[in-house]
Amino acid sequence: MNLSEAIHRRKTFAIISHPDAGKTTLTEKFLLFGGAIQTAGAVKSNKIKKAATSDFMEIEKQRGISVATSVMTFEYQGKLVNILDTPGHKDFAEDTYRTLTAVDSVILVIDCVKGVEEQTERLMEVCRMRNTPVIVFINKVDRDGRDPFDLLDELEQKLNIKVRPMSWPINGGRDFKGVYKIYDKSINFFEANKTKISKDVIVIEDLNSALLDELIDKDAIKLRQDVELIDGVYGDFEVDGYLKGEVAPVFFGSALNNFGIKELLEKFLEIAPFPQARMSDSRKVEPDENKFSGFIFKIHANLDPRHRDRIAFLRVCSGKFERNKFFYHVRLEKNMKFPSPFTFMADSKALLEDAYAGDVVGLYDTGNFKIGDTLTEGEKMLYKGIPSFSPEIFKELINLDPMKSKQLEKGIEQLTDEGVAQLFRQDPGNRKFIGTVGELQFEVIQYRLEHEYNAKCRFEARAFFKACWMTGDKAAIDEFCKYRQKNIVKDKDGNWVFLAETAWILNTAIQQNPKIDFHTTSEFKI
């Protein structure tokens, strides 16, 4: 297989949504259809003890939510599919934003009962910034929810994107009978089946068939009226509009009960983009270039707690990644080779020999990588667009067991390398402050420190408004640090950071120190 063929058979996308909309369940059903798993577990079912395949961290299984991006790969109908299942909780949005830089398209899951929620709007804003192609899956139509036309109107108004229904539900709630595929004029009836693929699929080739009246009786009239209205209001679906991020095709179904999933998966594989070009700080990089390049978009400590491993997630952007071949680490300016790269299936891994543009590769890391690092075959360039966010909540880390200081030190170093929390140190005293964008992150960090590193801690809130990185005149910075000693810390890279207590204090510092540049993100380092 040549380079172009390998690239064109790959589809790399993220599944995003508000919490509890069903994206992890949808991920499992994709894996089920792809033959990657035989039985799917219900995320929050007490009867089915098997936890969701893509939620492999213990705290995820306990709480029934995703708190880290999972990567899964499977083959379906000749395509190699890379799914990135992301956290939905707003406290972990930073992980999701970074993940969106590593994909070529997105499936957005909407709960038909709740409609568009706040986190959905934020995620969509990130997609619109990059014109990322989006497919919308309206989930849980087997529950009593909103009118489908009302949902379509809300999608257009709140998400600022045109929509085009590709399938349509026959009734909803307890009367839900199946989906009509508008694009090929056929109807599929499904039997509710939570754990296995339903075999009972009836296909009707024509919407005007008398068989339709026999099967759904009076509902046939409404379905015909709905489809006529859809064709009149939304017009024809154009793939180009979808690929430009201007139009979002919409599918209806129930992930838990396997309604409408096969249609969604197969249409996605037909129209979704193959790996696309990426912008670096020096040029546009095409996926079919002969020389390899890629960037680290995520780091995860303790993917396997038994081995204390640390994994860097690499998105291949061009060329061919090869096992045991030397590649150039641009930031460190040194060559590295990787004897054991692997591909993912949630928490299970398989050794790989090579990977192409669009693939996500796991690299064992001993501390060489940071989020945003670029690997090439010698070219000095850095990929752009790895978002960095200023923390909103600050707490001091208090060690509850001095005998476990080394474990705590190692644990907090590795966990903050993952990018969902930032570590700041203050001397004298080696005080540690953690900055995050949400409260839940502190609970996860505390849990993981105890269960993965055997280190106990607590967090004490600190009243800081903003973390500001300082650059500019060295003498001016040194003088400012002496004057504001109790508010000065260093980040993990040794950069000076000013923790301002209020907006007024920050503005005053900016006005009184014209030789110092105060940055509210760490982007200046990239």
Final residue of a structural domain among 216, 242, 271: 271
Residue 297 and residue 253 share a domain: no
pLDDT above 60: residue 57: no
Does residue 441 or residue 5 have the better pLDDT? 5
> Per-residue pLDDT for 188 more than 80?
no
Asked whether residue 223 falls in the same domain as residue 355, the answer is no
Q: Report yes or no on 383 lying in a domain.
A: no
- In terms of pLDDT, which residue wins out, 412 or 94? 412
d(CA 23, CA 293) in angstroms, rounded, equals 30
Q: Who wins on pLDDT, 164 or 221? A: 164
pLDDT category of residue 431 using cuts at 50, 70 and 90: very high
| Residue 239, token pair as written in the block | 């793939």
Same domain, 14 and 163: yes
62-76, 107-121, 356-370: the lowest-pLDDT one = 62-76
DSSP 366: S
Number of structural domains (the chain) is 3
pLDDT band at 10 (very low <50, low <70, confident <90, very high): very high
Per-residue pLDDT at 200 exceeds 60: no
Question: What is the per-residue pLDDT across 245-296, written as a single tens digit (0 to 9) for each?
Answer: 999 999 998 888 877 888 899 999 999 999 999 989 899 999 999 999 999 9
User: CA 31, CA 63: separation in Å to the nearest integer?
Assistant: 22
Q: Report the pLDDT averaged over residues 374-385.
A: 89
Q: At what angle do helices 261-271 and 23-33 cross, to 10 degrees?
A: 80
In the numeric block, the tokens 């009302």 are attached to 150
- Residue 85 · residue 69 · CB < 8 Å: yes
**183 lies in the same domain as 34:** yes
| Range with lowest mean pLDDT among 143-152, 186-195, 395-404 | 186-195
For residue 109, the SS3 value is strand
Per-residue pLDDT band for 176 (boundaries 50, 70, 90) equals confident
User: Residue 141's CB: how many other CB atoms inside 10 A?
Assistant: 27
Alpha carbon 409 to chain centroid, angstroms: 28
96 and 242 part of one domain: yes
Least confidently predicted of 214-218, 323-327, 351-355, 408-412: 214-218
Alpha-carbon gap, residue 97 to 420, rounded angstroms: 11
What pLDDT score was predicted for residue 474?
93
What digits encode the pLDDT tens for the residues 329-349? 999 999 999 999 988 764 567
DSSP code for 392: S
CA dihedral over 95, 99, 100, 101, signed as positive or negative? positive
214 vs 167, 178, 209, 217, 220, CA distance in Å? 21, 15, 9, 5, 9
How would residue 53 be classed by pLDDT, with cut points 50, 70 and 90?
very low
What confidence score (pLDDT) does residue 526 get?
40
Mean pLDDT of the chain: 82
pLDDT at 44 exceeding the cut of 70: no
Residues 264, 337, single domain; the answer is no
Range of the domain at 123: 3-271
Higher pLDDT, 55 or 165: 165
User: Do 164 and 190 reside in the same domain of the chain?
Assistant: yes
The full DSSP string for 23-74 is HHHHHHHHHHHTTS-SSPPPTT-SS--SPPTT--SHHHHHHTS--S-EEEEE
- Rounded Cα distance between 305 and 202, Å, is 46
The residue ranking higher by pLDDT, 407 or 39, is: 407
What is the tens place of the pLDDT at every residue in 232-247? Answer: 888 889 999 999 999 9
Indicate if the pLDDT at residue 38 is higher than 60.
no
Q: Phi/psi at 407 (nearest 5 deg)?
A: -65, -40
Task: Supply the CATH number for residue 107's domain.
Answer: 3.40.50.300
Of 90, 37, 47, which Cα lies nearest the Cα of 66?
Answer: 90
Q: Which of 225, 253, 271 is the last residue of a domain?
A: 271
- Mark whether 283 and 267 lie in a shared domain: no
CATH number at residue 447: 3.30.70.3280
How many other CB atoms sit within 10 Å of the CB of residue 150?
Answer: 11
CB within 8 A of 39, min separation 6: which ones? 32, 50, 195, 196
